[in-house]
Amino acid sequence: MFHLRSIPLLMAFSLGAALGCADGEADCDPQTEILVLYGSDTTDQEDTTRCEAAPASCGDAPDCECLRGQKLANGLNLDFCLDEGECDDSDDVVYVVCPGG
9-47: pLDDT as tens digits: 333 333 333 334 444 456 999 999 999 999 986 667 788
Residues 47-95 pLDDT 10s: 899 999 999 999 999 999 999 999 999 999 999 999 999 999 999 999 9
Please report, for the chain, the start and end positions of each structural domain, with discontinuous segments joined by +.
6-98
- Evaluate if residue 5 carries a pLDDT over 90: no
Q: Spell out a b/e string for 3-12, using b for 16 or more CB atoms within 10 Å of the CB, else e.
A: eeeeeeeeee
